[in-house]
Structure 1
Amino acid sequence: MNTIKKILAVIDPSKEKQIALNRSFELAKKSGAQITAFLSIYDFSYEMTTMLSREERDAMRDAVINDRKEWINSLIAEQASDIHVDCQVVWHNRPFESIVETVLEQQYDIVVKGTHQHDTLKSVIFTPTDWHLIRKCPVSLLLVKEHDWPAGGQILAAVNASSEEETHQALNHTILQEAKYLADLIDGNLNVVNAYPGTPVNIAIEIPEFDAGQYSESVKAHHIAATQKLAEQYDIESDHCFVNEGLPEDVLPQVANKIDAELVVMGTVGRTGISAALIGNTAEHVIDSLNCDVLALKPEGYKSPLDKS
């Protein structure tokens, strides 16, 4: 991304307040980007009305689409903004596919989508569409909640600083570049977090002379050094670096809560098929535990399974 020129704001027909559209306006005012308000709708009953001809069914479907367009345009008008917003309503029975297809066809830089907050649990409930987009959206995906991004707010970039894999190293830089761009855009403070594994218990048991304490300290020092070296390249001070022992799905929410982050920027690796069902994705576990906005990024060169080009 690095710059935002085209935003696809996903409209939620079940909500009065459109937090994705509101956040898109915030971004567009600062970046000069164009916005498309996008809605994917489908009603199976219209397809099953066999008493009607194909022309009549098409007319009914068009009437529903036009009604939704009028509603979205009224939402846009409420913003009283000089930002031009296009409106696009499509008839599609799989919303995530329609979003990805639109991104691919019209070359959007970022998808902005609201998440559902469960009032009693004070946590986010992700829909199947959210999970599909986390795995398959080929561009940056911003999952937003209902709160502001104040000036001076905290942005948290989640990295795997010590990885020697080229793909992880490249993804670290993508995460930090996007996080820095947004921090500069909204006048926020940039922080970085790195989780690292604890000492394997079986080693300490099997090797009596093994010094678990010394090993743990050396591992921690290695991760701190790697994280700070990475952070220095993006002018992030050491007191804005958080290096904690534990699983990413535990460490990231802890640090995000500690600094009261408005946004967490992290990488995701799209998994499909059996591996997605059985293994899941660390990013998905992390996102499920966060109580703030999340910008989910794919590795450079990632190709969505829906990309037929």
Structure 2
Amino acid sequence: MSIYNNILVVANINSDDQPALARAMQLASKSRSRSHVTFFLSIYDFSYDMTSMLSVDERNAMRKGVIHQREQWMRTVAEPYINDSIEFDVVVVWHNRPYEAVIAEVYAGNHDIVIKGTRKHDVLESVIFTPTDWHLLRKCPAPVLLVKNSDWPENASILASVHVGSENETHQSLNDSMVEQLNSLSERLGAKPYLVNAYPVTPANITIELPEFDPTTYTDAVRGHHLTAMKALRQKHGYDDEQTIVEQGLPEDIIPESAQKLNAAMVIIGTTGRTGLSAVFIGNTAEHVIDKINCDVLALKPEGYISPLDPSTAI
């Protein structure tokens, strides 16, 4: 499992406050081995490529000048966060698609995790995910941590949204990976870990189409199946029953509600089950859950996931 010692942080160009960098340094400082943090920015100005009055060399010189200015700014805003015990560097690239630049850097630098700040909506205290966020969640081969606040709350918890009702090996393997990440992050950040699972409500149309169908018996059977599967998962990883939640309802309702009740500072989400062309998309359920979560979100891919931007698959 990854222990997140080679961290890529995406800079927020619109602010001197860098919560993603704060979280990265927090994780790195509590690692048992020496960590490396790369502070990354992708910039692009269309006007520099369209100025026909300038030669190629002049355009390149202007780009280098802009990149140098950004590097200087990044080193300045990073100063309050830097820890001498952590290796730190700054990378600025010229690229017109930020998410592609980030993913290219993940491959080039063999990074364990990408950490990026999200925009907070001041009125509802909710998070607004940008197009770059969604592209990274869908296509980045490394885990993606989207950070809301730089401060880690007191007595916080971390939730893993596990899918225990499935016999699918991909889901089961991802559940194990999520719990391992949950254990590591909870220890490093001083948080209490919880496993959360939502199981479906009995479809109303079944009771109408099948008069002899007993919805209560069916619901009890489904709940029993999920409770048994959750028990097996928690016992496998040494969790107490009090650290597990199994509730009836939609994941996009149960997970955010549980996160709020348990003072969650982070929710771990799995993005599973897609192959071929649809592999570039995370499932609708995960998207709906992420949209409603009012805290940090860590998105994990299943083992063997291949990004559509993997340079080894390029023709």
User: Which bracket does the TM-score occupy, shorter chain normalised?
Assistant: over 0.9
**Change beyond 3 A, Cα 1:128–1:44:** same
1:161-211 Cα deviation digits (max 9, x unpaired): 020011111111111111111111122111000111111212211222222
Percent identical pairs in the alignment equals 51
Partner of 1:16: 16
Partner of 1:3: 3
1:179 and 2:192 correspond: no
1:209 and 2:212 correspond: yes
CA distance in 2, matches of 1:161, 1:279: 18
Please state how far the C-alpha of 1:308 moved relative to its aligned partner: 2.5
Please say if residues 180 and 234 of structure 1, whose CA atoms lie closer than 8 Å, have aligned partners that are also in contact: no
SS in 2 for 1:39: strand
Written as runs of structure 1 = structure 2, the 5 A alignment for 1:219-238 is 219-238=222-241
Please say if residues 2 and 181 of structure 1, whose CA atoms lie closer than 8 Å, have aligned partners that are also in contact: no
1:217-269 Cα deviation digits (max 9, x unpaired): 22112111111210122222111111111111111101111111011011113
Written as runs of structure 1 = structure 2, the 5 A alignment for 1:1-309 is 1-31=1-31, 32-79=34-81, 81-82=83-84, 83-150=86-153, 152-269=155-272, 281-309=284-312
Paired residue total: 309
**Change beyond 3 A, Cα 1:42–1:272:** farther
Calculate the TM-score normalised by the size of structure 2: 0.93
Once superposed, what is the RMSD of the aligned Cα atoms? 2.0
SS in 2 for 1:225: helix
CA distance in 2, matches of 1:269, 1:5: 25
**Change beyond 3 A, Cα 1:217–1:270:** closer
Q: Which 4+ stretches in 1 moved above 4 angstroms? A: 270-280
CA distance in 2, matches of 1:304, 1:270: 14
1:265-307 Cα deviation digits (max 9, x unpaired): 1111386998589995321111111000011000001010000
Please state how far the C-alpha of 1:81 moved relative to its aligned partner: 2.1
SS in 2 for 1:236: coil
**Change beyond 3 A, Cα 1:233–1:257:** same
Structure 1 unaligned residues grouped into runs of 5+: none
Amino acid at match of 2:51: T
263-272 vs 203-212, greater mean Cα deviation: 263-272
SS in 1 for 2:13: coil
Structure 2 unaligned residues grouped into runs of 5+: none
Please say if residues 136 and 270 of structure 1, whose CA atoms lie closer than 8 Å, have aligned partners that are also in contact: no
Please say if residues 11 and 39 of structure 1, whose CA atoms lie closer than 8 Å, have aligned partners that are also in contact: yes
Calculate the TM-score normalised by the size of structure 1: 0.95
Amino acid at match of 1:17: D
**Change beyond 3 A, Cα 1:143–1:198:** same
Please state how far the C-alpha of 1:8 moved relative to its aligned partner: 0.2
